[in-house]
Amino acid sequence: MTIIEEFLDRYSREFDAYAEAARLVQVICEENLLENGIRAIVSSRAKRSDRLRDKVLERNKSKKYGSVDQIYKDIVDLAGVRIALYFPGDIDEVHKIIKGRFKILRSKTFPEKRLKSKTHSTDYQKRFSGYSARHYRLSLKSSDLAPDKKRYSKLPVEVQVASVLMHGWAEVEHDLAYKPLSGILSEDEWAILDELNGLVLAGEISLERLQRAVKVRVRRRNERFQNHYELATYIFDRVRKLIPEPVMGRLDVLLRFLQLISKDRPKEIDQYLEDLDKDTEQRPVVDQLVDRIVRTNRQSYEKYAQARREVGERNPYQSFPRLDTDKSDQIALGQFLTKWRQLEAFMLRTHRSKSPTTKFLHVAWPALMKSISLTHKQELIQLRHLRNEVVHGTRSVDQEELASATEKISQLLSDLSKGAT
């Protein structure tokens, strides 16, 4: 058995594993693009054995493979995911998502050079820049996977990110130019492919203009957000001057929440978007926005919980940690949130008595903490962490933990009130 045959035999036995690794990457990408309001078509596949055979045989002419491992290192797209963006201007946002959710092994931006001097087989001089995209060789983070899925974190996956137009053109060029079924392309055929590349690049400019037009329409007309993509566009445009690379959070949940409390218009949320905390890695924009809304509307906690449940039920890629199930859970949760609201209101009153000109909505948590004695700060930090987990759904919290926390808040309120008198 030759080295190539040995490689192909091994790959055929590992095909399902590569397909599953690609599928898991696809699911995570789809989930995060959806949450962040980025329109895209995401697909995945493991490389077919017949196509892989042709590729390995062709590359072996120059590579002269000496081992099976050498082939595995050379062929980077055994498992592949394609992200086709509606708007090419979103590519930097996708980069942030990929950087945060996966372990990047290598990345590459195309075109590497602005223009290629000649095509492969003729003297035709290309006029346009060719393929424009970003490719990543990455792996899943073991910590994000269930115990029975952790083995897939060892398999590399290639992710290609480009506009829908560019992906389509690249597919045509690749199949015609690099896998010709009827001989080498003529100079006229190369010219036509180059012309199509120019049309694609012009189309991408049109898509970018369309994206800007959507922003202008949403901002000027103050109409209801039709979907969370419009909401994402509006919020990103508002906050990027203060926070150049914001982490947005669950925009699909935010839109449903705003709909439930009748604040799903641009002007309704403007006041909550001022002076946000720049550390959106720790506190995403959505979490900060929700916290500001519930600070002024105490009944909206329940509406936010409802939005999380509804969107969680519609989203097949992610389920939220439960916020309430049976009646006793709801009672424990309600008691905890009631006490928390009392504590936050006390801290706000204390802060405003010392800084009366501060805007109510824009009092940051570190500023509130300054009014608390050192003996209570650590306990308060722990309670706030629990509150954020409950409200924003990062983990499930049982009745006993909620009851204990409610008691601690009651005692803390008592101690703080005595200290204020």
Write out the DSSP string of 233-256.
HHHHHHHTTT-SS-----HHHHHH
Is 175 a member of any domain?
A: yes
Out of 289, 304, 320, pick the residue that ends a domain.
320
Tens of pLDDT, residue by residue, the chain (421 residues) = 799 999 999 999 999 999 999 999 999 999 889 877 898 999 999 999 998 999 999 999 999 999 999 999 999 999 999 999 999 989 998 998 999 999 999 999 999 765 444 555 566 778 888 889 999 999 999 988 989 999 999 999 999 999 999 999 988 887 777 665 556 788 888 888 899 999 999 999 999 888 888 777 777 767 899 888 889 888 988 888 788 778 888 898 999 999 999 999 999 999 899 888 888 877 889 988 998 888 877 678 888 888 988 887 655 444 445 444 566 777 887 788 888 878 877 887 887 777 766 665 666 667 777 767 767 788 888 888 888 877 776 667 788 888 999 999 999 888 888 765 5
What is the b/e burial string over 66-103, where b = at least 16 CB atoms within 10 angstroms of the residue's CB?
eebeebeeebbbbbbbbbbbbbbbbbebbbebbeebbe
Q: Which residues contact 179 (CB under 8 A, 6 or more apart)?
A: none
Q: What is the DSSP letter of 327?
A: H
As a whole number of angstroms, the distance between CA 310 and CA 250 comes to: 13
β-pairing verdict for 79-85 and 157-163: parallel
Could you tell me the two tokens for 102?
Answer: 């996966």
Is 7 a member of any domain?
A: yes
In CATH, what number is assigned to the domain containing residue 150?
A: 3.30.460.10
Residues 337 and 286 in one domain: no
Residue 319's pLDDT is 45
Is 212 a member of any domain?
A: no
Residues 354 and 282 in one domain: no
Is 215 a member of any domain?
A: no
Contact (CB, 8 A) for 165 and 208: no
Q: Which domain holds residue 346?
A: 325-421
Strands lying side by side in the sheet with 133-140: 40-46, 79-85, 157-163, 133-140, 102-110
Q: Helix 327-354 crosses helix 399-420 at what angle (to 10 degrees)? A: 20
Kindly report the pTM of this predicted structure: 0.65
Residues 383 and 366 in one domain: yes
Residue 117's pLDDT is 45
Q: How many domains does the chain have?
A: 3
As a whole number of angstroms, the distance between CA 58 and CA 119 comes to: 19
Out of 285, 300, 320, pick the residue that ends a domain.
320
State the DSSP H helix or E strand holding residue 153, giving kind and residue range, or none if neither: none
Could you tell me the two tokens for 221?
Answer: 């007309």
